[in-house]
Structures are given as C-alpha cells and as structure tokens.
Amino acid sequence: MLSCFAQDYCLLAGIRFSGIIKSMKLVGHLLLLFFCLAEAHAIITEPKLPDEGVLSADVNHGMNPDISYGKFTGRVSDKDDAARIFKVHVENNNSKFFRAGDNVYFRVQGREQRRTCKAFVRNVEDNYFSMFVENLEPCWEAGYFRRGTVLVFDSKVLEERVFEAAKYRELLILRKDDFLKQLNGINHFLWTFDQQKVKVAADYDAQILEMQRARQKALDDLIQQKQEQLTLQAELMRRLNELDESLKFYRVERRELLTDRWNMDHDGGLPVGQRPQELKKE
C-alpha cells in the first residue's frame, strides 16, 4: 500500500512539475514577443547630417554665382621638346569653352609668392587643353614643367564663356521643356487615339441620329400639313359650291320686254320685222 501511494504521489508531483515548466515556457514566449514588438515599434531617429563635404547647391548643371569659374587647377600631362607647349589635364571640363588664342594666367601650386605666367590656348579636348607659354621665369625657376606639376589657372575669358554658356543653357532648358510639353501632348493624343476615335464617332452618330429624327419629324409635319390642306381644300370647294347655288338662286334677272316694244314699233310704222325676234341668250 505504501509503495503504491508513493508511486501515485510521485506521478502527481511529476505532472505538476511539467505544468509549471509549460507555464514558464509560455511566460518566456510572451516576454520575447513583447520585446520584439517593442523593438519593431521603436522610433528610429534619422541623424542630422552636416553640410560638410557638399561642394555646391544643385543648380541643374548651371552656373552657381557663389563660385568663380575662372579659377581652376590642372596637371601637366605632356610637353613638346622645346618645353613651350604643354598639355594640361583638368578634372573640371569647363576648359571645353576655351578657344584657340585665348590667354590664360597661371602659377605653380605652392609658389603663390611668385608672379603669374601668361599662356595662350592652342587646342582643346575633353578634360585636356594645350597651351603655349613663352616664358616660365615669372612663375617657375626651372625652364620646363615636369609631368604631374599642378598649375593654378586664372582666366577672365573662361569665366565670361561659362556665364554665356550658362545663360544659353537656360534657354536650351526652356526650349527642351517646351518640346517636352509638345511631345507630352502628342503622346497623350497617340495613347488615347482609340478612345478619341470612338468618342468622335459616337458624337457624330448622335448628331446623325438627331438629324434623322429632325428629318423624320419634318417629313411627318409636311405630311400632316398636306392632310390638313386637303381637308381645307375639300371644305372650301364645298362652300364655294354652296355659294354658287346661293348666288344663282338670289340672282336678279334683268330682261326687257322686247315683244311689247315690237308691237309698239310696228304700230308706229317703224321698219321692224314681221315677227318679233327671239331673245338672245346672255
């Protein structure tokens, strides 16, 4: 008996312990779900990025009035044997606005205390331009530039060319916007051509139907008017016949007594016939 009671007690204790374990697992799952939801609904703040590193405002590839486009840097990439013609590589491709014969002033980077040298543009390529320098002594102690030498340029002509190019580009943008609006209208017409075709056909079908109705109504009115005129004609003819009968009945006949007049003429010895003449029909 004791052994059976002990076994039952152990079994009951095991059941209770397993229930406690399940309850603890359920509580753990609820806590995990709560933390996940809290993390999902957390407010994410966006950092306020500094303006450092931003070169300039977006001007749609136009001219920024805060920047001097006449000043730029370039790196010597090649030279001729006489060290008078140099080919310069520039990262800013505004040098494409140079023309042959334009003058440009420059100095070597790190030699700001020296004077500037004067050069003349000979040729222009993408990100490159060639220049002729007559004298390097004002800005450089050596008689030539090594490849890779960084030069700081200053050109009023280029600044004016960039200004003109920016203004002309604004006109081109306006022209492009106008063309885009026209193209948008054409595309809209072409895209909705089938719908517009059905609409126009429906409008004209409605007008044709309305004209047919008006035509049929006019014909019906004309036929009705004809019937009314026929009725009126018959009534007028009937009344005219009645008037003719009435006029004939109420006619006053005007006849002279020709026989009595013959007798009087005959008695008076006038030249008349032996017998009275018959009445002439009027």
**Would 41 be classed as within a structural domain?**
no
Distance between CA atoms of 18 and 174, rounded to whole angstroms? 80
**Would 10 be classed as within a structural domain?**
no
Per DSSP (E only), the strands in the chain are 71-79, 85-89, 103-108, 117-125, 128-133, 150-154
**Would 236 be classed as within a structural domain?**
yes
Distance between CA atoms of 188 and 183, rounded to whole angstroms? 8
Same domain flag for 149 and 82: yes
> 142: which residues sit within 8 A by CB, 6+ positions away?
136
Least confident of 134-138, 201-205, 230-234: 134-138
Same domain flag for 206 and 154: no
Tell me: pLDDT of 225 over 70. yes
Token representation of residue 193: 């051509």
Total number of domains constituting the chain: 2
Beta strand pairing call for 85-89 and 103-108: unpaired
| 40 vs 240 pLDDT, higher one | 240
| 38 vs 146 pLDDT, higher one | 146
**Would 138 be classed as within a structural domain?**
yes
158 lies in which domain range? Answer: 71-165
Instruction: Give pLDDT tens digits for 3-25.
Output: 444 445 444 445 555 555 556 56
**Would 9 be classed as within a structural domain?**
no
CA angle 171, 174, 175 (to 5 degrees): 85
Q: What is the CATH number of the domain that holds 137?
A: 2.40.30.230
**Would 32 be classed as within a structural domain?**
no
Phi, psi of 149 (to 5 degrees): -65, 130
Express as a percent the part of the chain with pLDDT over 70: 68
Q: Residue 136's Cα: distance from chain center in Å?
A: 59
Instruction: Give pLDDT tens digits for 11-65.
Output: 444 555 555 555 656 656 666 655 555 444 444 445 454 555 555 555 566 667 7
**Torsion on CA atoms 11, 17, 23, 27, rounded to nearest 10:** -160
